[in-house]
Structure 1
Amino acid sequence: MTASQPPTESAEPSAEPSADASADAGAALLARAVAHLEPVMPLLRELGERFATAGHDLALVGGPVRDAFLGRSSHDLDLTTSARPEQIEAAVAGWADAVWDMGRAFGTIGLRKGAYVVEITTYRADAYDRTTRKPIVAFGDNLADDLARRDFTVNAMALQLPELAFVDPHDGLADLFARELRTPGAPEVSFADDPLRMMRAARFVAQLDMSLHPGVAEAITAAVDSLQIVSAERVRDELVKLLLTPAPRRGLEVLVDTGLAQRMLPELPGMQLTIDEHHRHKDVYEHSLTVLDQAIDLEGPPGAGEQEVPGPDLILRLAALLHDIGKPATRRFEPGGGVSFHHHEVVGAKLSTKRLRELRFDKETIKSVSRLVELHLRFHGYGAGEWTDSAVRRYVTDAGDLLPRLHRLTRADCTTRNRRKAARLAASYDSLERRIEALMAAEELKAVRPELDGNEIGQVLGIPPGRVLGRAYKHLLAIRLDRGLIGPEAAREELLAWWADQPES
């Protein structure tokens, strides 16, 4: 089969390209894709020849083929074959540097050859009972049926090895260049078989800069309730993959517009507050997506130092998306036409913790995101720089290791169209960062602690470790934050004065 032709501009839109022109265009596209695969082509040809010698078909399939046509590098090398697992092992025996069979039940054998990791899977012809997303595994006997089972047409293209014949029975290449996401078969059947494909659709919209085919969008909207059979861990993993794409906004919009978000992240559509007739507040949902966009723009390059927050940074992105989820619950209309969201950062931190727990995020991520949500408004008490050094120390200490992310979240949270206001806020935060740097240089704020440690406090007061010593430690920490460095002797005097005021236990 030949490559599908991408849409091209023409002075005569009604003119049909000739068969020869279509063939030439397809051949040129295929040549570019193969050239992009050149670094791994020797390995692929060797594998293809080994399988052909053993009487088996072999093809590169899915993401690596799609990405080759886009001129993108793929970290995966996924192949499909007519060979059964034991035949795959026999074909690569003595050639692969290592082989593993953890996916044997699903027909997958993994191997390593030099620096490359390859997964080879037997053609599949699975069935689904639609009470879970786990298939009843069955092996197929031809490439066409295997491709028909795949999630989207852009992932249902293959390159047969070793002859490099391009197979595209569902016009995935045309869809790729038209930037339209379709399923090989009826979308309602595809999503009923595996509801997680609906979330993958949202991810591919963001990752590949595509749009949903109208039929796909309708099928997702009709099938959102089936997401309940997917485990929270799988939903979380797809959400993470979406958030870590270069521009996740459009994928998140798909989740909301189709109703999927209502089933897995209801706080997101919940921020679509109805704007009253006096337009007394912004739409919180749109604001949050803009904050996410701006936070991503503030990330450092991959591999940068921690202070630059190298992207993509999941914690920063989650915090940007969720920073205002406490607003709907705290919205109040005030006399005179105002609207308030008092303590929405506190409520939002609690809601963030609850939602991320239900999505089975790890404890450290939950703690970090919720803390950033709680702290995201703290800067707005800074005003024109009236904070004392004590307040600056507390800001740094409360943020801890999250300070670089808090800097970016706070800056990203400015979405005003008023240029003067935006410039004023930016200048104010510049001032705060300069003060933080100066205090850090003078007082080592990154490791701020009392000037007497726990052992010294116990010796001065003659008490063992426990709750009372913990209270004494917190008292000296508060003095350290309020007054800076006062010296060990002065700290000892403050400790004894505090101890004298304590009731006898």
Structure 2
Amino acid sequence: MTPFVSDHPDYYPPPHLKDWLQNRGEVLPFTLQDLSGESLRYFRSKNPVAVFRVSASLFESIASFQTESLDEFLQASSGPGEIKWMVSLPGISDDYHLRFLRREPEGHNGVQPSGFGQSGHAHASGSEPDSLVAEPQWDGAEERLVTGLSSEYQPFELSVDTLCFDGQTWSGNEQARADYLAGVLRPLEGTDLALHPSTSDVLRIPGVASMLDFDLEPSFRSALKGAWSEEKAGELNRKFLRKCFQKIVCGARPSTGFLIMDELGALDWFLPDLAKGKGLTQNRYHSHDIFHHLIYACDAVDEPILKLRLAALLHDIGKSDTRREQPGGEATFHNHEVVGARITERIMRRFGFDSNLGKRVRFLVRNHMFHYTSEWSDRAVRRFMQKVSPSQLEDLIALRLADRKGSGKRQALPRAIKDLIRHIEEIKRQERELKVRDLKIGGNDLMELGMKPGPEMGDLLKSLLDQVKAEEIPNDRDALLEAARRQLLETIA
């Protein structure tokens, strides 16, 4: 079967994930054949998360298994089945989370297994890196727990979620395979669109589309559009909204999700500051309006690093409010980075992002317009280095590249950025060099040898420094004093 093809990489489980799964075979109770189609969205968006199937009986036994030992937790499970569970694999290492998802098997009669808290998760130790979407979860039956929706609400499955990985490709029923090949999202056959979707699905599905870089099947698109309600959206939990936002931003192609959300009529409510950039032209250096420039800049950040994707999406968010059109048709955006930083702070608070993440994103938005010229002195560059740490400079450069690519330009670094990097490296080289103040003797030592303060003392210290750099003498107090005595005697003679 020929897979759906887009210009994004990593459609299949990446080799390092396959190797990790196979190498852990003695502990993990599954094979690659157990991968559920829900894994597709995580593989496609480069988030190392895999969804597997386990049996109902195994689900019961594991749910009530009480231990903090991850190996014991894993060794207790074995065998395929109908219950889905998820492992997020930060860096594909031994430091990971294990999550069992609340999903009623056939004959389970809706009774929740013991051993679960209100979150519906069993947690093992581990930590998630910056590159992962925070709290990656399957957006399935448990979603009613985090959205505050009615317990009668049952999120529907998509046809591609029923696919299984056979070690070579994804296979399933005829409709699922056809949707996979076409790159299309549609509800599982038999889903009653008169009951589904809901307003929460209008916000949830763009995230799935972004993670997969798939489009919506036309009748599904119409059903979603008809389900949108700002009043009901206002009742949704902030955590759910943040999850929707993160899944779009950290997807395989963020622009896909934002464009679909706009088509469904939800973007003006979800991110009004982004939506207001639609149709607002920039200048001759930009091929797109403000809205499209921002979502394409977000696409241009290759890795799903949340702070960089958010910074790329929001870096010019202040342009809509600062846009002034000149007589010739050109637009100006004076201080848009300052206004954009304020808007960014407001957006980060509205969605409940971590305050430290908010500060980092705000910093990048506020400083993305830094402009280096050959007129910058060493002192000016040093001031810049005090303001911007090496890691922050690396992020600003990544943001500048995304900005250029989102403007329709070639991706190469601008010459000014290359010159700034060279200037910084030269200053670092100079700072690494030994200086007079680094010598193990100083002016007081020379005065004890009978030398008077003055230019000659400075010349002697510089001479000693040159000898140390040339490795003619060591930077040792006794050796330096001996060399100083010798040079003083030569001067007297």
Same-fold status (TM-score > 0.5) = yes
Deviation at 1:259, TM superposition (A): 2.5
Q: Which has the higher contact order (CA 8 A, sep 6+)?
A: 2
Which structure is higher in helix share? 1
* Residue in structure 1 matching 2:326, options 324, 334, 344: 334
Counterparts of 1:76 and 1:159 in 2: how far apart (Å)?
A: 11
TM-score, length basis structure 1: 0.57
* Residue in structure 1 matching 2:178, options 170, 174, 179: 174
* Residue in structure 2 matching 1:260, options 256, 259, 266: 266
The answer (yes or no) to whether the contact 1:84–1:122 under 8 Å persists in 2 is no
Q: Does structure 1 residue 119 correspond to structure 2 residue 100?
A: yes
Matches within 5 A, 1:241-260: 241-260=247-266
Amino acid paired to 2:381: V
* Residue in structure 2 matching 1:136, options 139, 142, 151: 151
Tell me what 2:403 maps to.
413
Q: Does 204-213 or 392-401 show the bigger shift?
A: 392-401
Counterparts of 2:41 and 2:357 in 1: how far apart (Å)?
A: 33
| Residues 272-324 of structure 1: per-residue CA shift (max 9 Å, x gap) | 13449999995111222333333x24xxxxxxxxxxxxx33211111111111
Deviation at 1:345, TM superposition (A): 0.7
- Paired residue secondary structure (1:76): strand
* Residue in structure 2 matching 1:197, options 191, 197, 201: 201
The answer (yes or no) to whether the contact 1:85–1:109 under 8 Å persists in 2 is no
Tell me what 1:79 maps to.
53
Q: Does structure 1 residue 238 correspond to structure 2 residue 244?
A: yes
Deviation at 1:222, TM superposition (A): 2.5
Amino acid paired to 1:228: G
Tell me what 2:215 maps to.
211
Matches within 5 A, 1:294-305: 294=300, 296-297=301-302
- Paired residue secondary structure (2:397): helix
Tell me what 1:465 maps to.
none
Counterparts of 2:398 and 2:47 in 1: how far apart (Å)?
A: 30
Counterparts of 2:394 and 2:288 in 1: how far apart (Å)?
A: 27
* Residue in structure 1 matching 2:362, options 357, 361, 370: 370
Counterparts of 1:65 and 1:273 in 2: how far apart (Å)?
A: 34
- Paired residue secondary structure (2:376): coil
The answer (yes or no) to whether the contact 1:191–1:197 under 8 Å persists in 2 is yes
Q: Does structure 1 residue 395 correspond to structure 2 residue 379?
A: no
| Residues 234-262 of structure 1: per-residue CA shift (max 9 Å, x gap) | 22123223322343222222223323322
Deviation at 1:181, TM superposition (A): 0.2
Deviation at 1:78, TM superposition (A): 3.5
| Residues 106-125 of structure 1: per-residue CA shift (max 9 Å, x gap) | x999999xx79573743277
TM-score, length basis structure 2: 0.58
Deviation at 1:201, TM superposition (A): 2.2
Counterparts of 2:42 and 2:312 in 1: how far apart (Å)?
A: 29
Counterparts of 1:341 and 1:73 in 2: how far apart (Å)?
A: 36
- Paired residue secondary structure (1:397): helix
Amino acid paired to 1:362: D
The answer (yes or no) to whether the contact 1:273–1:328 under 8 Å persists in 2 is no
- Paired residue secondary structure (1:229): coil
Aligned residues: 359
Deviation at 1:46, TM superposition (A): 7.1
Tell me what 1:456 maps to.
none
Tell me what 1:466 maps to.
none
Counterparts of 1:257 and 1:406 in 2: how far apart (Å)?
A: 32
Matches within 5 A, 1:145-164: 150-157=156-163
Amino acid paired to 1:122: E
Deviation at 1:363, TM superposition (A): 0.8
- Paired residue secondary structure (2:157): coil
Counterparts of 2:292 and 2:395 in 1: how far apart (Å)?
A: 21
Counterparts of 1:412 and 1:284 in 2: how far apart (Å)?
A: 14
Q: Does structure 1 residue 344 correspond to structure 2 residue 336?
A: yes
- Paired residue secondary structure (2:278): coil
Amino acid paired to 1:240: Q
Counterparts of 1:404 and 1:131 in 2: how far apart (Å)?
A: 36
Counterparts of 1:80 and 1:325 in 2: how far apart (Å)?
A: 45
Runs of at least 5 residues in structure 2 that lack an aligned partner in the other structure = 5-17, 76-82, 89-93, 111-140, 433-493
Q: Does structure 1 residue 437 correspond to structure 2 residue 418?
A: no
Counterparts of 1:239 and 1:233 in 2: how far apart (Å)?
A: 10
Identity across aligned pairs (percent)? 26
Amino acid paired to 2:187: T
Amino acid paired to 1:411: L
| Residues 427-478 of structure 1: per-residue CA shift (max 9 Å, x gap) | 122111111222233348xxxxxxxxxxxxxxxxxxxxxxxxxxxxxxxxxx
The answer (yes or no) to whether the contact 1:399–1:406 under 8 Å persists in 2 is no
Amino acid paired to 1:328: S
